[in-house]
Amino acid sequence: MNKRRHKSLFVWLAMVGSVVALQLAAQSLGRVAPEKVAKISASLNKSLLTEGAGNLEVERSQVVAAPGITFVPVRFQAEDKSEGDGPPVMEGPRRKKFYCGMYQLADDAPAKFLLVFGVGHTELEECGGLQAIGAATPSPKHSDLILIYNAATLHDEFPEPVILSWDDSQKQYVVNDNLTKFVNTHCKSYTVFNIRSLLASRAAKP
């Protein structure tokens, strides 16, 4: 086999492998049945939320599960502690805004909660809810998670992606600032498929 044909075969096999990996990743998270979501919603430990949190909304259509763990996205209102050009929601003497977070309900560990949106690089934004969620890789355990939120400031509304990665020291998912920044910089259209493809291309580079 000449070098040109060998190279073409290698490229073709790599493309096929990437497509299969993306399809497997798409299947690695499953939607949770509505009746089970209702039971989960009623039993959430609200003491894990940010102090002073209220108006809790479980984003029931976005509750998903992987082997051994269920992810429950929520939206809630709390005091806005950001500085500068903050979100538009005002209540009483103090300004409040909507934050978004994720309950992580593992089969073999206590429930954990992660404040995902409204802090860090999204500190000056308000969360309008989770638009989409998906796995980044077909890993059977602890795949990175792709979250796409509806975000708002005083002047604009737009999609905002956030990547979560497993932190073994904390035994929970945390915001991956590096991957989130990479996606924000290089992805032109925020969909789970596009972000998954972008991250797969990044991982494949030597």
Per-residue confidence of the chain (206 residues) as pLDDT tens digits?
Answer: 554 554 443 333 333 333 433 443 444 789 999 999 999 999 999 999 988 899 999 999 999 999 899 999 999 999 988 765 544 444 445 588 999 999 999 999 999 999 999 999 999 999 999 999 999 987 667 899 999 999 998 889 999 999 999 999 999 999 999 999 999 999 999 999 999 999 998 887 76
What's the confidence (pLDDT) of residue 155?
Answer: 87
| Structural contact between residues 182 and 165, judged by C-beta atoms closer than 8 angstroms | no
Instruction: List CB contacts of 154: < 8 A, sequence separation 6 or more.
Output: 85, 86, 87, 88
pTM of the model: 0.82
What's the confidence (pLDDT) of residue 17?
Answer: 39
Distance of alpha carbon 185 from alpha carbon 118, whole angstroms: 19
What's the confidence (pLDDT) of residue 2?
Answer: 53
What's the confidence (pLDDT) of residue 141?
Answer: 76
What's the confidence (pLDDT) of residue 189?
Answer: 94
Pairing state between β 30-31 and 64-66 = antiparallel
What's the confidence (pLDDT) of residue 42?
Answer: 96
What's the confidence (pLDDT) of residue 181?
Answer: 96
- Count the Cβ atoms, other than its own, within 10 Å of residue 37: 19
Pairing state between β 112-117 and 126-135 = unpaired
Distance of alpha carbon 15 from alpha carbon 17, whole angstroms: 5
What's the confidence (pLDDT) of residue 84?
Answer: 57
What's the confidence (pLDDT) of residue 26?
Answer: 44
